[in-house]
Structure 1
Amino acid sequence: MTRATILYGGHEYVVARDEEQVRVEVDELIADGGGWLSVNHGRGRLQPAHLWVDRGVSIAVIDTTQPE
């Protein structure tokens, strides 16, 4: 399963997209002057969350895809 973990504000979030797709989405949001990145938060039962992404906001994207 393709998965990326996002570190934002000292918390971990996950998305079912690969790391490169997330980086492209973040770059587009910043180019548009900022916007909301849809992610999931939690373990087991995931809850939808939205992170504000803009210039000067620290965000890390990590490829956490599980090998098959």
Structure 2
Amino acid sequence: MLLDLLIEEISIHGLPHSHASILFYTGISVQYISERLGHADVDTTIRIYTHLIKELREEDENNTVNILVAL
């Protein structure tokens, strides 16, 4: 069935990463995500998901520029 839907399988170890990625991309705070994943502190979450945080920051920057240009 997975082949029919063209969905890649996610291992049991990949589920928390996929879950966190979805939460980041929908604007959920890093503090909440860190708690939800059971990390000892936010720094752990930031270190693990640095690539996502950088990508979202670039998106924030672009959105900010677009807002200021529209003024």
TM range (shorter): under 0.3
- TM-score normalised over the length of structure 2: 0.27
Q: Comparing both structures, which one devotes a greater share of its residues to strand?
A: 1
Structure with the larger helix share: 2
Larger radius of gyration: 2
Give the TM-score of the pair, scaled to structure 1.
0.28
